[in-house]
């Protein structure tokens, strides 16, 4: 079997100035380095040999573009010039501040081989498909590492870290980015792509299928959160105020889906009495029913008419509001009562009334009183 060689060139090193998101939450060298490790591991699982021109970019200055090219060219020659693809991995930025520029683009150099264009198209199309990013296309530019490497090659700009939505893709969709690269690399080498065995280790979301499932318009159906944490915002876009967080597996009903300023799809939902918005890339359609959104009622004097849960190991039920009254029953930890009216007892603390037994019970007619000290608001 002839050997397939993938040479990965991870862009930039830690001490290169700039090359970070405006909030410094994403460092481009770290993204490029993490991606090369992930793509290497998964490519090797497909029997592809992988060589890294820049295996350890941490705590280093730039190794130099000619060094990168020499390392690639020499390795390839020493291996007997096998079928080879040079892949330079980068993330994009417009400038040092947040902006709306977005999308994925892949570069080849002018007068490059047909195989370079073939690889670039495969990578570009797969990234766009799996990440749901805007397709900026395959572009021609005489980047040094493309012009001065002997084998077929391309340079991928996965997404913009100067864009608030896309920086989240670069931070949280690394499995998807990896698999998109590996699918394209397999297609390039004519190898059958094998999905990862443990696809549930980090993110299990499938944005490619999600994006095709969600379209603009009324939705009125439940969806399940696939990201570990999903921020609910006051508008369609990361520039809006945070209202709260949904956790992985939570089910919510989406009312309406529309595009945000950056082109991403956002859905509206009822959230704590307000209208909230979430990015639809991090949810999937589900048949599960959303949990009713109930807010816990604070314990205070007045009509309560809501459930309360026993927090003590055992809680005495008395015939009146206070420890001076006769004990009529006992509740166990975790038991839930339908509290009626909360008022001060003869001990100065809050007590609630509730029906602890059928009304046929003589004497008290089944109405009992408990100290609120050992009760907490709950959802039934």
Contact residues toward Zn ion (CB under 5 A) are: 11, 90
Nearer to Zn ion, 11 or 267 (CB): 11
Nearer to Zn ion, 32 or 226 (CB): 32
> Which residue is listed with tokens 């006992």?
330
Q: How far is the CB of 12 from Zn ion (least distance, A)?
A: 6
Token pair recorded at residue 329: 């029953």
Q: How far is the CB of 68 from Zn ion (least distance, A)?
A: 13
Nearer to Zn ion, 4 or 32 (CB): 32
Which residues, 6 or more positions from 116, have their beta carbon under 8 angstroms from its beta carbon?
108, 109, 146, 152, 153, 154
Nearer to Zn ion, 90 or 321 (CB): 90
Q: How far is the CB of 279 from Zn ion (least distance, A)?
A: 25
Token pair recorded at residue 94: 């417009």
Q: How far is the CB of 90 from Zn ion (least distance, A)?
A: 3
Q: How far is the CB of 36 from Zn ion (least distance, A)?
A: 13
- Contact (CB, 8 A) for 279 and 264: yes
Cα–Cα distance for residue pair 355/117, rounded to 1 Å: 77
Alpha helices in the chain (DSSP H): 28-44, 65-78, 114-131, 144-147, 164-172, 174-189, 207-213
Nearer to Zn ion, 139 or 248 (CB): 139
Token pair recorded at residue 231: 């921020």
Residue number with the smallest Cβ distance to Zn ion: 90
Q: How far is the CB of 26 from Zn ion (least distance, A)?
A: 12
Q: DSSP assignment of 308-348, as one string?
A: EEE-SSEEEEESSSSTTSPEEEEEETT-EEEEEEEEE-TTS
Which residues, 6 or more positions from 225, have their beta carbon under 8 angstroms from its beta carbon?
246, 247, 248, 249, 250, 251, 252, 282, 283
Q: How far is the CB of 19 from Zn ion (least distance, A)?
A: 6
Nearer to Zn ion, 11 or 103 (CB): 11
Nearer to Zn ion, 43 or 162 (CB): 162
Cα–Cα distance for residue pair 105/256, rounded to 1 Å: 30
């Amino acid at each position: 079997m002839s050997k397939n060689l993938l040479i990965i060139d991870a862009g930039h090193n830690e001490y290169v100035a700039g090359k970070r998101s405006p909030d410094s939450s994403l460092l481009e060298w770290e993204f490029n380095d993490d991606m090369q490790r992930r793509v290497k591991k998964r490519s090797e699982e497909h029997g592809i040999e992988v060589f890294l021109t820049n295996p350890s970019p941490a705590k280093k200055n730039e190794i130099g573009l000619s060094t990168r090219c020499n390392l690639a060219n020499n390795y390839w020659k020493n291996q007997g010039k096998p079928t080879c693809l040079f892949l330079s991995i980068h993330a994009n930025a417009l400038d040092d501040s947040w902006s709306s520029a977005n999308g994925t683009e892949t570069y080849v150099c002018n007068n490059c081989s047909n195989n370079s264009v073939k690889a670039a198209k495969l990578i570009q199309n797969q990234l766009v498909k799996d990440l749901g990013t805007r397709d900026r296309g395959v572009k021609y530019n005489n980047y040094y590492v493309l012009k001065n490497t002997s084998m077929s090659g391309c340079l991928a700009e996965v997404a913009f870290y100067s864009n608030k939505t896309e920086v989240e893709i670069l931070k949280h969709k690394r499995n998807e980015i990896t698999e998109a690269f590996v699918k394209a690399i397999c297609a390039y080498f004519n190898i059958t792509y094998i999905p990862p065995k443990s696809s549930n280790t980090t993110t299990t979301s499938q944005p490619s299928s999600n994006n095709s499932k969600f379209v603009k318009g009324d939705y009125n159906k439940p969806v399940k959160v696939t990201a570990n944490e999903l921020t609910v915002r006051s508008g369609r876009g990361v520039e809006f105020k945070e209202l709260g967080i949904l956790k992985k597996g939570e089910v919510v009903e989406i009312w309406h889906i529309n595009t945000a300023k950056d082109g991403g799809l956002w859905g509206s939902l009822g959230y704590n009495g307000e209208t909230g918005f979430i990015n639809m890339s991090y949810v999937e359609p589900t048949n599960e029913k959303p949990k009713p959104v109930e807010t816990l009622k604070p314990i205070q004097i007045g009509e309560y008419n809501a459930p309360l849960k026993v927090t003590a190991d055992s809680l005495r039920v008395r015939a009146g509001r206070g420890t001076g009254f006769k004990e009529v029953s006992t509740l166990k930890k975790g038991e839930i009562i339908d509290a009626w009216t909360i008022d001060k007892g003869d001990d100065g603390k809050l007590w609630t009334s509730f029906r602890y037994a059928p009304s046929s019970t003589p004497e008290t007619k089944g109405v009992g009183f408990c100290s609120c000290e050992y009760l907490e608001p709950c959802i039934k």
